[in-house]
Structures are given as C-alpha cells and as structure tokens.
Chains A and B, each alone.
Chain A
Amino acid sequence: MTAPAPARFAPNLAARHRRGRFFRGLFFAATLVALIALAVLMATVVNRAFGLVAVAYAVDPATISDRPLAEMSHDELQAMFEANASRGLLRRLEREKPLSNRSREELLALLVGEVLQEQVVQTWTLWESITRAPQIEAEVAASHPAARLSFRSWINGRFLTQPMSSHALEAGVRTAVLGSLLMGLLTMAFAIPLGVATAVYLEEYTSGSWARRIIQTNIDNLAGVPSIIYGMLGLALFVRFLEPLTSGAILGVADSNGRTILAASLTMALLILPVIIINAQEALRAVPRSLRQASFGLGATRGQTVWSHVLPAALPGILTGTILGVSRLVGETAPLIIVGASTYIVADPNGLFSKFTALPIQIYNWTSRPQPEFAHLAAAAILVLLLLLLSLNAGAILLRNHYRRQLG
C-alpha cells in the first residue's frame, strides 16, 4: 500500500540504468561494425586500384628500333611487329583479330607486351606508395636498376577500352563490360515482360484462390534457391538440351557450342524472375483500389483496366524494382561460371550466339591468379563494377523521385 522507499529502490535503479547504457553501447557498436566493414572493404579495393609500379623491358627497345615507338604510324608498327614476333604468335593473333584491323594503340600494346615484353617487376599499394615513397625508390634503384618506377592508376582509359590480355599492363575490361551490358539487356528483354505479366496475373486476376497461393509460394521459394542451382539448370537445359537453339545451329550461324551469351541470358532471366515478380507485385499493390473501381464502373473490362490505368500508375515502381533486379544480375557470378562464360576472350560480343565474358567473371579470373599485379587489376575491375552498380541504383532512385513528383 505504501510507495516503495526511495532509499531501497535507488541503488538498484542506478545499476539497471548502467546496464542499460552498456548494452545500448554494445548494440550501437554492432551496428557500427557493418559501417566499418563497408569502409574497410572500399578502402581495401581503392588501396589496390592505385599505387607505385616498377616496370622493366625484357628486351631493350633500342635493339628493334632507333626511333621512339610512340612516333610511329600504324603500318610501321605492324611491319615491326611482324618482323619481331614469332610465327605461332602471329598466327594466333591473326585468328583472334587480323593485325591490319587492329588500331594503332592495340598494335603498340602488342609490341610492348609481346616483343619488348614490358613486365611488372614489383607493385605497391596506394598506402605504401604514399607513406614509403622514398624507401621504395631506393629499393628499386638498388635491386632493379633498369626498372622504371611510376605511379599508376590501374583504372585508366586504356583499362576501360582495351580487351583482355595475359599481360597485366595491357589488360582491360572492354570485352567484359560489353558482355555484361549485352547480357543485362538480353536478360531484361526476357525477364521484364514475363515478370510483369506474372505479377499482373497474381495481383489482378486471382485473389485468394488456390492457384494464386501455389504460384506465390513457389515464387517465394524460387527467390531463395542459390544462384549456383540456376547455373546447373542453365547448363542442363539451355547449354545442353537446347544447344541447337542457343548455339545458333538452327539459324545456321553455329560456330561452337551452347555456351553462348543467349544461354547465359536465359539462365539469368530465370534467376531474376522471382525478384522482378515480387517487386512488380508490390508496385501493383500500391495502386489504389479506387482507380480500378472507377475504371470498372465506366464499363471497362479487366484487361482494359489493367492496361490503361493500373499499369501506368504502377510503372515507376515496376521500373525501380527492375533496375534493382538488374543490379543483382550484373554482380552475379556463379551461374555464369557454370554455364561456361569464357575467361580469356578478346573479341567483343557480336550477337546472340557469341562466346562472352562478363565483368564479375573477369574479377574472379584475375583474383585467382597468384601474381600480385592481377590483384591490382581485379581491384580496378571491382571499382568499375561498383561504379556501374552505383549508377544503376542512382538511376533507380532518380526515376522513382521523378515519377513520384509527376504523379503526386
């Protein structure tokens, strides 16, 4: 009946509050770990995408030419390359892409890489380059007198515009970026119509029926299937079973097997369908009921209502969800390995039935190599990939805001 005596209550309260503050700090720290992990991850990548590099020619340039290579024309470079490269190498390169079709920069890169054999002697990270530059210079001068030390941004114009090469200094991501983009477009061409149609069917045509429950449960479960399983499905179904179609044999353009960009895109379409469906469903659900009822009240059929009223209103949401689907797809690696993306390819993808590589495949390939210079290349490629994802997501946000303003 009497109020608790403050004297008996107070010491206990202080301890309880202390515990409260302690745990609050603990919970906050755990949340901060995520932030720190993200920062460390970015720092690790940036740290390796730039830094000092010591390079040296295995063959002295003076032995093959008395003029600097940079001043030479396309034909001179080609003649010099043909004079100095081995027969086997020339044959292989001609097969990949005829020398006369290659640009002056490509020839220069070949000459430096194959004939002069410019090689990386040693590399340093950005952090080391900033903090220990004088020591590094002294080390290089002492151990490799012929080497030239320079600060290199591994992500540069050449890196973005040159195809894959086995020489770290000439390698680029052009083929991989084009492959990723083409595959993304193709995948979307398959997945968007199918995904939106499925979402429309589930949201507008069925309500609470058993058909809807089954399909919905199925889609939710598909969203949780590991991507590597989709890769196995793609391997068995698109690469092997449908090989005549995916290799282009039906159309008479076959030159290899079913491991084409078409097969990969079909696999990826199945993989992101659940994502697209679930996002499109949410967008459709956000459209007010009254809009549909007004349309029905004016005598419109269900199809007319959906096509002329519900879909336009849901479009921004569908687009945003779709872009999020694309960014999932661009970073997906495992299924591409399974369906057989090529790791070494120099020709741009030139159609549905070409062999291809993709940006994450390139990153995986470079990461798996033991030489340190490839870790720098992988870091540069990761930056390209993250920038691509960032611009996709920024696009999604801008698009959403634009439409929200327009509709609001």
Chain B
Amino acid sequence: MTVNATARRLPASARTIDLVRRPRRQEALVQALLVGSALLSIFTTVAIVFVLVREALLFFRAPEVNLVEFLTGTLWQPAVGHFGVWPLLSATLRTSLLAVLVAVPLGLAAAIYLSEYASARARGILKPVLEVLAGIPTVVYGYFALTWMTPLLRSLFGVDVVQFYNTASAGLVMGIMIVPLISSMSEDALSAVPRSLREASFGLGATRLETALRVVLPAALSGIFAAMLIGTARAIGETMIVAIAAGAGPAFTWNPFLPAETITGHIARISGGDLSYNSLDYNSLFALALLLFCVTLGLNIVGRWIVSRLREEYE
C-alpha cells in the first residue's frame, strides 16, 4: 500500500528504485566506525613499538651507553654509568627457568590425567580448580611467595643459605602460577589427537599408559612445545611475584637463594619511585622493556605458529 502510494507521487523517471546502488550513508558510517576500532589494535602495536624504540634509541645514543656493553656487561649501576643487562637478565632467566621446571612436569602430567584418564566427574571438579588458580591476581601469588614459600625454603635449607628475598621462592611460585596455562594448552593439544590413533593402539593390546605416552604424547608434542614457549613468555613477563619476593637491587649471581632483581622487577621499582622524564634512568627502562617485548613476542609468535600448524595437521 505505502509503496504504491509513494510510487504514485514520484515522477515517472524515478519509479524503478535501484536498491543495490542506493547510497547508504548510515551503513557506510557504521562500517567506517567498525574499521576504525579494528585499526586501534594495529595502532596499539605500532604505538608500543614506536614508544619503546624511540626511548630506547635515546638511551643507546647517550655517551655513557654502548650497545655491546648493554648486551654483554655484568654490571648494572646507572648511578655510575654502567649499563650491562646481565645482572637483570640472569635473574629473569633464573626465575623463568625455575618456573618452567616446576610448571611443565606438573602441567603436562595434569593434562595427561585430565585428557586420558579422568572421568567426567573428576574433570568437572579439577578443571574449575585450575581455572581458579589461573584467575588469582599475581600480586596475591607474590604475597604467597613471600609469606609461605620463602619461610618454607629457609626452614628446609637453612636461614644462612636462603636469604629473605630470593629468586628461588619467586620462581617456584611463578611455576605454580603457570601450571594452569601449560595444562590447558597441553590438554588442548592432547585432545586434538584423533580418537582413531588411540583405538588403533588399544587394538594392538597397548595399555592406557603405553597409549598415552607412546602414541598420544608424541602426536601432540608440537602443541606441548608451544605451551612451553608461551608459558616461558608468561614467566619472563611476570612482574609482581618477582617485585615482591625476589628482592631489590641488580645482582649478578647464579645462586637462586640470593636476592636479585629481574628486568620486570627493576622496571617496576624504578618507575614506582620519583622518576624524572628525559633522564637516562627513564630511557634505560624503555630499553629494558624493548628487550622484554622482543623476547616475549618472539616466543609467542613461534608458539602460536606451532599451534596453528598442529591444528591444520589433524583437521
């Protein structure tokens, strides 16, 4: 009715309406807004890279600094112009290594249990527990490291051996923090292995353990490796646990019972104080952040690439 009424009022030339070519300003506007917000994520990445590189360049151009000393030096004392990254980097590597050593066996065993053994009821209880563990803020883990893990280590190894602030306690607790990440990623990898492989193995008379360890695990190995890489990236970028429990002040040592500051811990401590912009201290934080960004991004990219290849393999 209304269509007819409109048509009668229009001049004869406009009676056929071309819906396809009709300009749709509203639609175009909406789409432009959507594209804009999608581009914001690209902008975020560009901004991160730009900010880090710009300030880091200011740092490396300073006369007190040279790139070789930064990458190989074992002394980080900004006050007297020594900027060798190894005291901080070694602490980061030590805590992350410890975390991975705790998290990978635990997480992998939990993943095997959940995917190969557990009944639906057991999964229904255990998986939420792991999710809760993953949802606990890292500052709480830091508190846990300082008030529970450190006293435990000190009573085990002696108060003289284990300092109040130490990287071992931070690393161990960080390992517990990463267990849910490793277990859920590994479980995804294990579940992606087709049922037919398991059935073939059972059919040949293998036990559940032999099937799990010799058939399913090797088939899912690349996914588990990816979980390790992404877990390592999490450990390297983790800040609060080390800021609370690992100690303040860069120290070049390989003893996990001594206090040492990680890259993230150093950034948090220095920027938490009164920091003047355009100082070498300020710029040095960005150089450290750039190093951190490159390492974690690299690990994440490789990890994701492996996961996507694994997915293609079985689908």
A interface, CB within 8 angstroms of B: 16-17, 19-20, 23-24, 26-31, 33-35, 37-38, 40-41, 44-45, 48, 193-195, 197-198, 200-202, 205, 214-215, 218-222, 224-233, 235-237, 240, 270, 273-274, 277, 301-303, 327-328, 330-334, 337-338, 340, 343, 360, 363-364, 367-368, 375, 378-379, 382, 385-386, 389, 393
Contacts and interface: CB of A to CB of B under 8 A. Distances in A.
A19 B37 contact: no
B24 interface: yes
A364 B137 CA distance: 11
Contacts of A48: 147
Interface of B is mostly: helix
Given A229-B48, A334-B243, 7 more contacts: A27-B117, A30-B105, A31-B118, A33-B106, A224-B300, A229-B293, A274-B41
B109 A31 contact: yes
Contacts of A195: 37
A149 B128 CA distance: 41
B230 interface: yes
Interface residues of B, number: 84
A235 B271 contact: yes
Q: Which 7 A-B pairs have the closest CB atoms?
A: A226-B237, A331-B137, A30-B109, A224-B300, A27-B113, A201-B34, A334-B239
A228 B209 contact: no
6 contacts: A16-B210, A40-B148, A197-B33, A224-B296, A226-B239, A333-B239
Nearest to A37: B176
B143 A363 contact: yes
B40 A198 contact: yes
Interface stretch (B67-75, B78-86, B155-163, B284-292): B284-292
Interface in B222-262: 230, 233-234, 236-240, 243-244
B179 interface: yes
B194 to A, nearest CB: 21
B170 interface: no
Given A198-B34, A224-B233, A331 B140 contact: yes
Nearest to B24: A301
A301 B293 CA distance: 42
> Which of B42, B147, B176, B285 has most A Cβ within 10 Å?
B147
Contacts of A270: 44
Contact of B292 (A202, A229, A274, A368): A229
A38 B176 CA distance: 9
A338 B139 contact: no
Contacts of B285: 232
Given A197-B33, A229-B292, A331-B137, A378 B129 contact: no
Contact of B40 (A23, A30, A34, A194): A194
Contact of A232 (B45, B135, B267): B267
Contact of B140 (A45, A193, A218): A45
B240 A334 contact: yes
B304 interface: yes
Greatest chain B CB density within 10 A among A38, A225, A368 is at A225
A381 to B, nearest CB: 9
Interface of B: 24, 26-27, 30-31, 33-42, 44-45, 47-48, 51-52, 55, 105-106, 109-110, 112-114, 117-118, 126, 129-130, 132-133, 135-144, 146-148, 176, 179-180, 183, 207-210, 213, 230, 233-234, 236-240, 243-244, 264, 267-268, 271-272, 277, 285-286, 289, 292-293, 296-297, 300-301, 304
A16, A31, A200 pick with most chain B CB within 10 angstroms: A31
A198 B40 CA distance: 9
A388 to B, nearest CB: 10
Nearest to B289: A232
A3 B291 CA distance: 64
Contact of A227 (B34, B114, B237): B237
Contacts of A197: 33-34, 36-38
A26 B105 CA distance: 11
Nearest to B34: A201
A307 B52 CA distance: 39
Given A16-B210, A31-B110, A338-B271, A237 B137 contact: no
A367 B138 contact: no
Contacts of B140: 41, 45, 331, 363, 382, 385-386
Given A303-B30, A363-B143, A218 B45 contact: yes
Contacts of A227: 237, 239
